[in-house]
């Protein structure tokens, strides 16, 4: 029969994905172009570390660092199912990664940055010794090279298989970030669903700017644990991004497709355009320029001997009419005379007493 000459055309698989929130079928290509966010209801699908870096960084710019670091079962830990060492081996084989943290250098809209992200598929993104060490290393590298730092988290907290060793990573990562901020460098943290436990209590919330994806679970202990402990009903939306931003825990909720645009705007506002990015490895950071400067020495910096200026009847650098500048012992700020303030702020004669009053007050405060 004629119709038997035609065979049903086979359709390739993995073309569509059903949104668990609105139950709409989504074309996978369009879903990937929208950073795995539902175009109908804005539901954020879970993504792995590779996808997160691909959506964030310029194509082909990522250079991974310390990918070969692996955890050691120092405590010989055994739970009710299997030894920790066996669990690590199975997880490495399943995920294709050696640990839960991926760090490296890359570019975001041509700006060079340091970046780290957790892989939730690796034991729930839990923080053990290697994760803590990687966070500390990328932070120290960013400090050394004066690079902005982006850390993205998706974690169940500290890895209890490593006991106290995992808890020590909280202090180590916070110390590294403390030195990073003391050097005047900029960090941004991106909290995703879920971010809990020791990760939330340490480096994930220590950034200069804390961003979060919509409807992400963010907290220390989980809602069920808290509810059973206090034996009270929790507020609606407890520990979500929307709940926390109203209480000042995070700075902004940013949908995943807009993340690059938002971070680039923050970098441009706080660091300047890419071509003007400062400082370099050989230059001090903005917050570090005056850190070692004794303002009391400013009055003793002369471009030429004072007797040469006296011969031309010119005033000293630190005073007016040949008087030397004095230093306030409590504030270590050079005092300024009324004449200097008047000359610097308004060379023209003042027209009224009201205009002169702020100048006099300013001179008294400085003196």
- What's the whole-model pTM score? 0.73
pLDDT digits (tens, 9 = 90+) for 331-360: 343 444 444 433 444 444 444 434 444 444
Cβ atoms of 107 and 113 within 8 Å: the answer is: yes
The Cα–Cα gap between 33 and 53 comes to 14
User: 276 Cβ partners below 8 Å, 6+ apart?
Assistant: none
11 pLDDT band, cuts 50/70/90, is: low
- The tokens describing 53, both together, are 């870096």
List, in order of start, the domains of the chain with CATH numbers.
17-46 (no CATH), 47-285 (3.90.226.10), 295-366 (no CATH)
Report which of 8, 102, 91 is spatially closest to residue 48, judged by C-alpha positions. Answer: 102
pLDDT tens per residue, range 160-208: 999 999 999 999 999 999 999 999 999 999 999 999 999 999 999 999 9
Q: Inter-axis angle of helices 338-345 and 353-366, to 10 degrees?
A: 120
Strands 101-108 and 111-118: antiparallel
Q: pLDDT tens, 197-244?
A: 999 999 999 999 999 999 999 999 888 889 889 998 889 889 999 999
CA atoms within 13 A on the CB side of 194: 16
Report angle CA 148, 104, 42 to the nearest 5 degrees. 75
């Amino acid at each position: 029969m004629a119709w038997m000459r035609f065979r049903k055309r086979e359709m390739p698989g993995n073309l569509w994905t059903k949104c668990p929130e609105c139950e709409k079928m989504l074309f996978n290509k369009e879903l990937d172009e929208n950073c795995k966010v539902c175009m109908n209801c804005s539901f954020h699908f879970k993504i792995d570390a590779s996808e997160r870096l691909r959506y964030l960084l310029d194509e082909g710019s990522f250079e991974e660092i310390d990918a070969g670091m692996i955890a050691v079962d120092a405590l010989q830990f055994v739970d009710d199912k299997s030894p920790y060492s066996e669990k690590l081996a199975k997880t490495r084989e399943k995920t294709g990664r050696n640990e839960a943290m991926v760090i490296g250098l890359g570019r975001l809209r041509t700006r060079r940055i340091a970046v780290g992200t957790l892989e939730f598929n690796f034991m729930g993104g839990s923080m053990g010794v290697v994760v803590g060490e990687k966070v500390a290393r990328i932070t120290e590298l960013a400090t050394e090279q004066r690079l902005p730092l982006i850390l993205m988290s998706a974690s169940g907290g500290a890895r209890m298989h490593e006991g106290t060793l995992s808890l020590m990573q909280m202090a180590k990562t916070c110390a590294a970030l403390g030195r990073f901020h003391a050097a005047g460098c900029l960090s941004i943290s991106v909290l995703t669903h879920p971010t809990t436990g020791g990760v939330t209590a340490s480096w994930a919330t220590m950034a200069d700017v804390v961003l979060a994806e919509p409807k992400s679970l963010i907290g220390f202990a989980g809602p069920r644990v808290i509810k059973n402990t206090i034996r009270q009903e929790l507020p609606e939306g407890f520990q979500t991004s929307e709940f926390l931003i109203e209480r000042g825990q995070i700075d902004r909720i940013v949908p995943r497709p807009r993340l690059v645009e938002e971070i680039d705007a923050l970098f441009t506002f706080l660091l300047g355009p890419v071509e003007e990015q400062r400082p370099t490895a050989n230059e001090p950071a903005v917050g570090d320029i005056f850190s070692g400067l004794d303002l009391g020495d400013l009055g003793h910096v002369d471009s030429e001997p004072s007797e040469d200026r006296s011969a031309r009847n010119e005033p000293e650098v630190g005073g007016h009419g040949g008087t030397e500048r004095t230093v306030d012992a409590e504030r270590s700020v050079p005092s300024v005379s009324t004449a200097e303030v008047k000359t610097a702020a308004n060379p023209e004669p003042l027209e009224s007493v009201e205009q002169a009053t702020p100048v006099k007050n300013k001179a008294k405060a400085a003196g």
